[in-house]
Structure 1
Amino acid sequence: MPLPLKIVSWNINSVRFRIEIVEKFLREMAPDVLCLQETKVIDQDFPTAAFRALGYRHIVLHGQKMHHGVAILSKVPLAEDDRLDWQANREARHVGVRLANGMRIENVYVPAGGDVPDRDANPKFGQKLDFLERMTRWSEALSGPTLLVGDLNIAPLEADVWNHKQLLGVVSHTPVEVAAMAQLKASNSWVDLGRHFFPEPARLHTWWSYRSADWTVNDRGRRLDHMWATADIAATATRHHVFEECRSWLKPSDHVPIMTEFQI
């Protein structure tokens, strides 16, 4: 008989600084698996005790001092973890695991890409495009049931940003990034679970800049956080959530958690 499984992805923007809201979220929503990005802590200093106290005893980390970092914390057993270097410079931007049911979870933090959408003028933008190219080559060779989650740092659709025309020249929504993401998505016929449950033009933002004193006033959001599934996993998905209210919590991340529920 299929069992329910709730999986969350959240760019937490420093797990130690925001541990209180992580604990609050886990107590309220009780996901089975939590995938974090931008943890900003080396593995030895990760606050594992707080997670174990809430039942997340299976912990796989890929940390880095002050920057980047990803982690998977789970109530269900994890195996076969790996850490791929799509940035090609040893930055901690990926961790993958396999669940007991054979499903893989790949947790990714794609580089933001700097402020100028030009490879020559801004090397960070070129690094982002190269990262996506390496991911695409990996995806082409991928086999088996897989869920790809994380901060992919691209809002691909017009409905994924607060103003499509104004953001066409802004990194995260430029045509070249959208095209790169489309190639990645096509490379394994990934199903975008967010848009599977909330087809455009439905509102589905997951990030709001800190630059606005009150993010709710102008509501200039973007959908940078994603969950993609291979077709076999997508067929088991039953619900998708975006927790906008977390953006107003004490000491919030600029990203909010997203969650998909499955019957696997």
Structure 2
Amino acid sequence: MKNTDLESYLNNLLTVSLFKDYAPNGLQVEGKREIKRIVTGVTASQALIDEAIRLQADALLVHHGYFWPGESQPIRGMKGQRIRSLIKNDINLLAYHLPLDAHIHLGNNAQLGKQLGLTGIAPIQPDDPQCLVFHGYLPEPALTSAFSEHISLALNRTPLISHHQEFTLRHIAWCTGGAQNYIQQAIEYGVDAYISGEVSEHTVHTARENNVVFYAAGHHATERYGIKALGEWLQQQFSDLEVHFIDIDNPA
């Protein structure tokens, strides 16, 4: 598959044109024209690039790429090393941020819900393709601490919890990554608990004062599953592609 054909396919699949994002979606660093082997991962760190080089990948497909607002523009230092490594080894870098968060089937939010075994998984605003907050239901009601243990086992990450007392939980909302400020949308939707990757100081107070349990389960830990699912989808759709998911551990 040609690199531009892969980009076009992914752009259409993830409806990139609908999103105003923080960084460019699609082909960020151009490499060899023909793609046969793809490495997928959460973030285009040097460690992930090194794995792509080791596996002789033609393309690296990630959720967190480059060229974010506030990022230093000169290609030097860490940024220079990363981009030199890609160019020297003729590796394409493709990145999809908000479009991958929001995708109704393959996205980070849909996949996190599946990973947690929730039912009725859907965006809280189903008519908005850009909606990033999803909701669903536990198959059986669970207490605050029991659901925390469930998250720990499902994500291999012990979450921070806003409450010490036990509440009975059934209706859950979530948004992966750095989405703690969407807690107000979850509260207004009427859920029992809200999950995100990160936490701010005010998030805990907001949760406590609105009797909604908040779990911060890790930015990386909550966003492993969309890019993995996307790679598996490509493998299923295109028999000539070989796809490898590499999970570079990150405690954040």
User: What is the TM-score normalised by the length of structure 1?
Assistant: 0.33
Larger radius of gyration: 2
User: What is the TM-score normalised by the length of structure 2?
Assistant: 0.34
